[in-house]
Amino acid sequence: MLAGRHILLIIGGGIAAYKALDLIRRLRDAGAEVTPVMTRAAAEFVTPLSVGALAGREVITELFDLSQEAKMGHIELSRAADLIVVAPATANLMAKMAAGLADDMASTLLLATDKRVLLAPAMNVRMWGHPATRRNREVLEGDGILFVGPDEGPMACGEFGPGRLAEVPAIVAAVGAALADGPLKGRHVLVTSGPTHEPIDPVRYIANRSSGAQGAAIADALAGLGAEVTFITGPAEVPPPGGVKVVRVETAAQMLAAAEAALPADAAICAAAVADWRVAEASGQKMKKEAGGLPDLRLVENPDILARLSTPGPQRPRLVVGFAAETERVAEHAAAKRQRKVCDWILANDVSPGTGIMGGTENAVTLITAEGAEDWPRMSKRQVAQRLAMKLAEALATGSGASGGSI
Ligand code: C5P
């Protein structure tokens, strides 16, 4: 699966560094060539001798090692790989990357590279949850850095929670996805996902119950087929998948601005549950209960992102897909919505109470296109995402129709 691919593996200094040995073995089993780089701290946890023996090549450690620099300079090294993997990625390495520091070989390679970078973080649960690490993660995601894990579970330090290195097979799979030569390679797809929060005042907002599960699964499936995905998400419960460019927003207006800024795109999938209304004049100060009477919460309509992206013009993605959550006459209402919003496809679903779809893990959809309606059997949201991603790849490959066309 990774035959002929060259991976530069940066091993950070954490207790999970020993798992990098297994990772090297599995990457090589999958056909990859692995050039290992160790930070000074990593060498305290595993020996360069074992790493080098498993990789079948010399380990790179120091920036100012003249003999190594003479063989292959750090700039060249950072560009020769197909992918850079950092496992374990420590809080310190993440902070250095977010700040653009380059004070040792590992951080210099990370700053000098023009290749995709996949991080497998591993650290104590409180370090992972610290606002500084959260901030750094957001910065790195915004830079297009890919993430796999961390997992949740018991940790070497005796605590429990998120911070464990992702399982080695999951890291290998993420490497495969990051290098995917899938049918969507070279395509840019934007996905909106999650709810939006519309402020009433600095502490209150209007929201909805969308978990963001379907949107995250779609983004993941598209990335798995090799697409470059811009994932624009409101404050969702479900975390964004690895391998996509994440743009976090709060309001519908921000989501629209982010979607327009992400253009051009080959396709757009609007899976977000955008609030239909916002408070016309959100208060700059917390509204006081005793200020006399009830607050004036005049609502105004939010922009319709799906309709805006579907508007014919040079920037219109070739394929624009929307969702329609209906409780009755699903196909009929969804077909009308498709025409009203001028989008190409609508995935309609019945969210009446009793279907268990809203907030559940399964979905039963009908795909509405210009050609008619296609009922999909009830399946997991992940399977819906995979089927949609495959269908989208097929449509873009056959290249038929743009706005209102035969796609
Ligand atoms: O009109 P309705 O909200 O039922 O349409 C649902 C579809 O439109 C979804 O694809 C949703 O992401 C999109 N939408 C949008 N912006 C809005 C409202 C809905 O993109 N303001």
- Please tell me whether residues 98 and 225 are part of one structural domain: no
Cβ-based burial of 161 (10 A; exposed 0-12, middle 13-18, buried ≥19): middle
Distance 53 CA to ligand 1 centre (A): 55
Confidence at residue 360, expressed as pLDDT on a 0 to 100 scale: 72
- Please tell me whether residues 195 and 127 are part of one structural domain: no
Task: Find the Cα–Cα–Cα–Cα dihedral 81, 82, 86, 87, rounded to 10°.
Answer: -110
Structural contact between residues 344 and 380, judged by C-beta atoms closer than 8 angstroms: no
If one counts the domains in the chain, the total is: 2
Residue 156 domain flag? yes
Active-site residue identified among 157, 261, 280, 299: 157
Residue where a domain terminates, one of 178, 201, 233: 178
- Please tell me whether residues 222 and 95 are part of one structural domain: no
CATH number, domain of 17, equals 3.40.50.1950
Summarize the confidence of residues 338-357 as an average pLDDT: 89
Establish whether residue 93 lines the binding site of ligand 1, counting it when its CB lies within 6 angstroms of any ligand atom: no
Give the pLDDT confidence of 105-148 residue by residue, as tens digits: 999 999 998 888 999 999 999 999 999 999 999 899 878 788 99
Give the pLDDT confidence of 309-332 residue by residue, as tens digits: 999 999 999 999 999 988 889 999
Structure tokens at 353: 């109470």
- pTM strictly above 0.75: no
Give the pLDDT confidence of 46-55 residue by residue, as tens digits: 999 999 999 9
241 DSSP 8-state letter? P
Count the helices and strands in the chain (H runs, E runs). 15, 21
* pLDDT over threshold 50, residue 402: no
Residue 406 domain flag? no
Establish whether residue 270 lines the binding site of ligand 1, counting it when its CB lies within 6 angstroms of any ligand atom: yes
Rounded to the nearest angstrom, the gap between the alpha carbon of residue 383 and the centroid of all alpha carbons in its chain is 18
Token pair 């005793």 in the structure block, residue? 290
- CB neighbours of 316 closer than 8 A, spacing ≥ 6? 309, 310, 402, 403
CA distances from 206 to 54, 98, 252, 270, 373 (A): 54, 32, 11, 20, 34
Establish whether residue 232 lines the binding site of ligand 1, counting it when its CB lies within 6 angstroms of any ligand atom: no
Which residues make beta-bridge pairs with 146?
118
Residue 407's pLDDT band, with cuts at 50, 70 and 90, is: very low
Mean pLDDT of the chain, nearest integer: 90
Residue where a domain terminates, one of 126, 150, 178: 178
Residue 67's pLDDT band, with cuts at 50, 70 and 90, is: low
Establish whether residue 306 lines the binding site of ligand 1, counting it when its CB lies within 6 angstroms of any ligand atom: yes
Q: Tell me whether residue 157 is one of the annotated catalytic residues.
A: yes
* pLDDT over threshold 90, residue 70: no
CATH number, domain of 366, equals 3.40.50.10300
- Please tell me whether residues 149 and 264 are part of one structural domain: no
Establish whether residue 305 lines the binding site of ligand 1, counting it when its CB lies within 6 angstroms of any ligand atom: yes
* pLDDT over threshold 60, residue 74: yes
Confidence at residue 212, expressed as pLDDT on a 0 to 100 scale: 93
- Please tell me whether residues 148 and 278 are part of one structural domain: no
Residue 1 domain flag? no
List the residue whose alpha carbon is closest to atom 13 of ligand 1: 306
Separation CA 260–CA 262 (nearest Å): 5
Give the pLDDT confidence of 175-223 residue by residue, as tens digits: 988 887 678 989 999 999 999 999 999 999 999 989 999 999 899 889 8
Summarize the confidence of residues 246-268 as an average pLDDT: 98
Q: Which atom of ligand 1 is nearest to the CA of 271?
A: 12
Residue 406's pLDDT band, with cuts at 50, 70 and 90, is: very low
Token pair 């560094």 in the structure block, residue? 17
Q: Which of 270, 330, 363, 367 maximizes ligand 1 atoms within 8 Å of its Cβ, making it the mutation to test the pocket?
A: 270
Domain hosting 261: range is 188-398
- CB neighbours of 232 closer than 8 A, spacing ≥ 6? 190, 191, 192, 193, 247, 249, 255, 258, 259, 262, 272
Q: Which long-range contacts (CB under 8 A, 24 or more apart) does 62-71 make?
A: 62/104, 62/105, 63/104, 63/105, 63/108
Confidence at residue 262, expressed as pLDDT on a 0 to 100 scale: 97
Residue 155 domain flag? yes
Distance 270 CA to ligand 1 centre (A): 7
Confidence at residue 403, expressed as pLDDT on a 0 to 100 scale: 45
**CB atoms inside a 10 Å sphere around CB 222:** 31
Give me the percent of the chain exceeding a pLDDT of 70.
Answer: 94
Separation CA 353–CA 332 (nearest Å): 19
Summarize the confidence of residues 69-97 as an average pLDDT: 87
- Please tell me whether residues 121 and 248 are part of one structural domain: no
* pLDDT over threshold 90, residue 36: yes
Positive or negative, the CA dihedral 397, 398, 400, 406 is: negative
Stronger pLDDT, 38 or 377, i.e. the higher one? 38
